[in-house]
Structure 1
Amino acid sequence: MGISKESEEKTTVIEALELGGPNNGADGHTPLQMSLPSPGFWRLDAYFGNKFFDSITVQVHDLK
């Protein structure tokens, strides 16, 4: 889940994906791309199922 620090807008960044096989020492992996709808600071909350795991804050730049 992504939450904008400026507007409090919420968006689902990544839906559940199936894990691929082992990669680079990990038991499983999933290549992915994500995008957020507007520039600014976004808190990304990670959930596994319905269980909250951790958060990270990223700064999104407008590339126009």
Structure 2
Amino acid sequence: MNETDSAILEVALSLEEGPARDAFITRVFQGDLEGQREMTQLIDDARSAAAYFIDARDRRSEVAFDL
């Protein structure tokens, strides 16, 4: 991922999911459907990764509490 893609991803993740984020991605990629698809996949991957790490943190807390 280059700096431009990284900046686009950062801004996209800062926007609320839904119309605002979708409009931003559509505007940035203006007809580049492959670029739009790739960015959407990166956003989905980031969301999944965040959920994974939150779940892992919660599980560590449970284990620590049980000890």
Identify whether the pair has TM-score above 0.5, normalized to the shorter chain. no
Larger Rg: 2
More helix by share: 2
Give the TM-score normalised by the residue count of structure 2.
0.25
More strand by share: 1
Give the TM-score normalised by the residue count of structure 1.
0.26
